Amino acid sequence: MAMTMSQKILAAHAGLESVEAGQLISAGLDLALANDITGPVAINEFKKSGAHKVKDGGMIALVMDHFAPNKDIKSAQQCKACREFAREQNIENFFDVGRMGIEHALLPEQGLVGAGDLVIGADSHTCTYGALGAFSTGVGSTDLAAAMISGKCWFKVPSAIKFVLKGRPAEYICGKDIILHIIGLIGVDGALYKSMEFTGDGIKYLSMDDRFTICNMAIEAGAKNGIFPVDETALDYMNRRFKRQPVIYAADADAAYERTIEIDLSALKPTVAFPHLPENTKTEWGDIKIDQVVIGSCTNGHISDLRQAAEILKGRKVAEGVRTIIIPATNEIYLEAMHEGLIDIFIGAGAVVSTPTCGPCLGGYMGILAENERAVSTTNRNFVGRMGHVTSEVYLASPYVAAASAVTGRLTSPKEL
């Protein structure tokens, strides 16, 4: 039976010769992930079940990233619960202050996920790892608790949409513009419980950071997962990091897709998602004044994102009255940015640089919006109240657009500078 790339990974982990869309399976996992918000819930369910020992402490990762360093007593208690559980269960991959990073940037960097893997995480943006040719998806904390006990999870095999990426992106166009364009095209439910499978000659022009960004936001189109083929770019990334042997799967030539959508990357323009949905995308806008810029998150806190921001901010100043917050996604990225002189550029421009954290993305801390305030942000969601007050507004954009907007104090394309 012909299968898509995602279906082949699921079949292999379920011990089946083939699977088809809609089929229910139980499959063994390579990694199960939780953070300081979802982890305590999963740990509580683990204990309620009567379980005493996780199946394999090496296939679990707990990452303290949403409210760490702790912002208040409640978040401190959350992290403490995870810390104690990790110690009790000998969980090898526990990341806290000093070793921390935003989970979906940190795990690939640390070599914990790679091609052919089956990964679940109690966080919706777990779909990020499809950039490396893995099947990765978000689950609820109860499913995660069951996975910690059994090492397995159940899945309904998704059907797929093929996205053929063609051509070379123009100047100032990056992965964020590509995925925003796609979500604007198909809508926030356009890939509901489907696999978004990317192919085409345009992929060779996309960096790993671009691919991470695109897969990260597959969930914003309702997708079960996003996935890229494993090419030399992906293999080079994994050769330097991945702690296991990559297993490369490719879709069959006659695999069935619900739709095929072609995207001419050379024709794309800087794209912004206006409030209050990621599908509300525009490439032209009027005079929209802003109060804050956030450059970071699991979506756009990679080193290439910081380089793009620095390219715009170098020799310029942040506009008066605009708070500009830059958040490297991991300590390794923070150090790299520091050694390259990017931190000097940011602080010299009038921005602040934070320790790695999800922070403002979910309205947690380090950049909460007040009543009627507007932010241009490189994060992944802009729902009502996402980053603060219910009357605040979030405009999702690339690091290029975010940095240009910080300089002018209004929503701005880098081409306007």
Last residue of a domain, one of 217, 235, 263: 263
Say if 330 falls within a structural domain.
Answer: yes
Do residues 227 and 363 both lie within one domain? no
Angle at CA of residue 26, ends 21 and 31, nearest 5°: 105
pLDDT computed for residue 6 by the predictor: 98
pLDDT of residue 400: 98
Q: Report pLDDT for 243.
A: 86
Residue 77 inside a domain? The answer is: yes
Range with the poorest average pLDDT among 176-180, 247-251, 383-387, 397-401: 383-387
Per residue in 227-249, pLDDT (tens digit) is 999 999 999 999 989 989 999 99
Which tens digit of pLDDT belongs to each residue from 318-327?
999 999 999 9
> Rounded to an integer, what distance in angstroms lies between the CA atom of residue 299 and that of residue 65?
14
CATH of the domain at 28: 3.30.499.10
163 domain residue, yes or no:
yes
Q: Is pLDDT at 111 greater than 90 in this prediction?
A: yes
In a domain, 118, yes or no: yes
H or E element, residue 164 = strand 160-166
Whether 370 has a pLDDT exceeding 90, the answer reads yes
Inform me whether the pLDDT recorded for 218 exceeds 90.
Answer: yes
* pLDDT surpasses 90 at 68: no
The alpha carbon dihedral of 36, 41, 44, 46 has a sign of negative
Residues 315 and 400 both lie in one domain: yes
Q: Count structural domains, the chain.
A: 2
The secondary structure of 18-56 as a DSSP string is: ---TT-EEEEE-SEEEEETTHHHHHHHHHHHTT--S-S-
Q: Please identify, among 218, 244, 263, the residue that sits at the C-terminal boundary of a domain.
A: 263
Nearest by Cα to 191 from 179, 201, 200, 199: 179
Q: Who wins on pLDDT, 164 or 98?
A: 164
pLDDT on residue 1: 85
Does residue 110 sit in the same domain as residue 232? yes
pLDDT of residue 413: 95
DSSP character at residue 373: -
Residues 246 and 97 in one domain: yes
Task: Find the mean pLDDT for residues 345-365.
Answer: 93
Q: Does 292 share its domain with 245? A: no
Residue 268 in any domain: the answer is no
Does position 363 have pLDDT exceeding 90, yes or no? no
Average predicted confidence (pLDDT) for the chain = 96
- Residue 120's closest CA among 13, 36, 246? 13
Does residue 210 share a domain with residue 109?
Answer: yes
Beta-ladder partners of 118: 135
Asked if residue 90 is part of any domain, the answer here is yes
Structure confidence at residue 362 (pLDDT):
87
Instruction: Indicate the pTM of the whole model.
Output: 0.95
Note whether residue 79 is domain-resident. Answer: yes
Task: State whether 53 and 88 are in the same domain.
Answer: yes
Boundary (domain end) residue, out of 242, 263, 284: 263
What's the pLDDT score for residue 361? 84
The span from the CA of 282 to the CA of 276, in Å, is 13
The pLDDT confidence band at residue 417, using thresholds 50, 70 and 90, is confident
**Residues 315 and 289 placed together within one structural domain of the fold:** yes
Residues 179 and 282 in one domain: no
Within this chain, do residues 259 and 278 fall inside the same structural domain, yes or no? no
Q: Residue 330 pLDDT more than 90?
A: yes
Quote the domain boundaries for residue 231: 5-263
Give the sign of the dihedral formed by CA 237, CA 219, CA 123, CA 326: positive
Average pLDDT over residues 157-184: 97
pLDDT band at residue 382 using 50, 70 and 90 as cut-offs:
very high
Residue 329 shares a structural domain with residue 246: no
User: Do 320 and 171 share a domain, yes or no?
Assistant: no
Interval 279-302: pLDDT, tens: 999 999 989 999 999 999 999 999
Q: What is the mean pLDDT of residues 380-394?
A: 94
> Residue 68: CB partners within 8 Å, gap ≥ 6?
36, 75, 79, 96, 97, 100, 357
Asked if pLDDT for residue 100 goes beyond 90, the answer is: no
